[in-house]
Amino acid sequence: MNRIAMIASLAATGALASVDLPYARAARRPDVVLTAQETSWEVRPGLVTRTRSYGGTVPAAPLRVREGHRMVVELRNRTRDPQTISWHGMVVPDTVDGLHTPAVAPGASGTYEFTATPAGTRLYHSVEGGGMFSGLFGPLIVDARDERGDYDREAVLLLHEFEPSIPARGSMMDERPPGSPTLSAPAMGMSGGAMGNMGGMGAMDMGGMLMYDATYAVYAVNGKALGAGDPIRVERGERVRFRIINASATLTHRLALPGHRFMVTHLDGNAVPVPHTLDAVELGPGERVDALVTMDAPGVWVFGSTVEEARRLGLGVVVAYDGARGEAVWRDEPRDAFRYADFGGRASVGHVDGVYDLVLRQSPEGHNAWSINGRRYPNTTRLYVRKGGTFLIRFSNLSMMEHPMHVLGNGFELAMVDGVATSGIRKDTVVVRPMMGRTNVLFRADNPDGGEFLLMCHNWQHMEGGMACVVAYV
C-alpha cells in the first residue's frame, strides 16, 4: 500500500494498518538516527501541546551535509502509526521518496541511503501519522561544493502552527485581512463580470467553491511563539542569510522585518536567475526562500507575519542588535508584491515532448474532497514521462483556495505564472493562485533512477482529500 493510499484509509476507517516492508541494510553506520516519537512541546509559557517529533524537539535538529555526500539515515519509529520521511527538494530514487518507499512499522527501524543533491535549503518531514500537521519535520541544508559564503551570519527559520482544527462549514467570502500574501489572493475577483467570463475554463459549481481553512491555536517560528524563543542577535553592518522554510500544513505566509529589505537569492533552495530586493517575502506550504538582509537599522524588531492576527498567535521572532534594549517593534510598512516572475528570465519554452493539463478543484464527494481533472487519488490520471525528455504541465485552479503543487524526488522550472512568461526559476513547489490561477511548469525528466513519484498539493488537507497524481518514468 503506498503512502497516500494509507492516508486515505486512515480517513475512511480511523486507523492505519501496520505496514512493515523490509529495508536493505545500509553499507555503513548511519550519519544520523531520527526517532519519531510522541512529544509534549511548550510553544509558549503555559501552552504545552501534544504532538510528534524527531528526538523530542520541534523542529528536529538540522541536518547539514556537503553536496554529493552519501547520506545514511536511520529512522526509529516509536509512534503508533507507520512512518516514512519525505526528503523534500532532494533528487532521490522512488524507494527513498516515491511510490515505492516502504513504511517503517510501529516499533521498527528502517534506513534511508541516498546522495545529497541538489545543494540548497531543503526540508525533511513525515508523511503518515499526522504528516505536516505534526511536529515531525526539520531543516536539511546541503552546502554546495563551490559555496562562497558571502555573508556574515546565517539564520534558519521554520514556520509552523500547532493544534489544528478543520471547520465543518465552509465560506465563500474572501475574508483575508490586510497584509495577507499575494500568492493566496484570487487571480480573478468574484465580480459578476469575472464570473461571467469563466466559460472558457469550464463551469465552476458554487457548491465546490467553499473554503474550509484549517485554524490553529498557536503559531511558531522554530517551534516557539513570538517572544517565547531566543532572539536572533545581530550586529550593525552584518549581512545575514535567512533560510526561511514554510513547514505549515496548510498556510501561505508573508513575512517582513521592518526597516530592512530582503535580497532574495534562492527559491526552494535553488539560485534564481535574477536576485530581487523587496520588503516582504512569501512562502506557501513546503516552499523555501533564501534572502540576504543587510543589518542597517539598529534596534529590537519583530521579524514576523504581515498579518496582525498571525503575529498575535505567535508567527514571529525577535531580531535584536547588539547593545539595543527595549520591547520588540513592529511597523506596518511592507508594500511590495511577491511575484515569481520577478526572479526569472524571459526565455521561451521551446520544444517539449508532451503536454499535460491539470485542473485543480474541489470534488462534490465531500467538503474536504479535492480533485485533479475531476478525479481523486488514487484514481487520477498518470503523467508518463520519458527519461531525458521535457514535459509541459499546465495547472489551472478552479477553486477558492491556493494550491502549493509539489513533486517528490524531482524538480521543475517555472514557465508561466498567471499569463506572465518566465524562465530559469527551478523549484519543487509552486503556489497556484485561487480563482483562475494558472501556472505552467517544465518538468525535465532527469532523475537518474527514474521511478514513480507523487505530484501533490502540499496543503495537507487537500493532499489527504485526494489532490495528487503520479508522475511515472517510462
pLDDT tens per residue across span 106-120: 999 999 999 999 999
Query: What pLDDT was estimated at residue 149?
Result: 83
User: What residues contact 35, with CB distance under 8 A and at least 6 apart?
Assistant: 54, 55, 75, 76, 78
User: DSSP per residue over 9-26, as a string?
Assistant: HHHHHSSPPP--PPPPPP
Rounded CA separation 36/107 (Å): 10
Q: Is 458 helix (H, G, I), strand (E, B) or coil?
A: coil
CATH fold group of domain 3-147: Immunoglobulin-like (2.60.40)
- The partner residues of 50 in beta bridges, in order of sequence, read 40
Query: What pLDDT was estimated at residue 170?
Result: 62
Rounded CA separation 284/412 (Å): 16
Give how far the C-alpha of residue 418 lies from the chain's centroid of Cα atoms, to the nearest Å.
Answer: 20
Query: What pLDDT was estimated at residue 334?
Result: 85
Query: What pLDDT was estimated at residue 209?
Result: 57
Cell of 126: 513525515
All residue ranges of the chain with pLDDT < 70 are 1-27, 168-174, 189-211
Q: Specify the CATH number for 354-473; select among 3.30.1380.20, 3.40.50.720, 1.25.10.10, 2.60.40.420.
A: 2.60.40.420
CATH class of the domain defined by 216-338: mainly beta
Q: Is 200 helix (H, G, I), strand (E, B) or coil?
A: helix
Q: Indicate the helix (H) or strand (E) that contains 372.
A: strand 370-372
Domain with CATH 2.60.40.420 in the chain: 3-147, 216-338, 354-473
- The partner residues of 265 in beta bridges, in order of sequence, read none
Query: What pLDDT was estimated at residue 190?
Result: 53
Q: Is 391 helix (H, G, I), strand (E, B) or coil?
A: strand
Q: Is 73 helix (H, G, I), strand (E, B) or coil?
A: strand
User: What residues contact 82, with CB distance under 8 A and at least 6 apart?
Assistant: 6, 16, 18, 19, 20, 103, 104, 105, 106, 128, 129
* Listed residue (35, 77, 81, 79) closest to 60, CA to CA: 35
pTM of the model: 0.92
Other C-beta atoms lying within 10 Å of the C-beta of residue 10: 17
Do 88 and 131 contact (CB within 8 A), yes or no? no
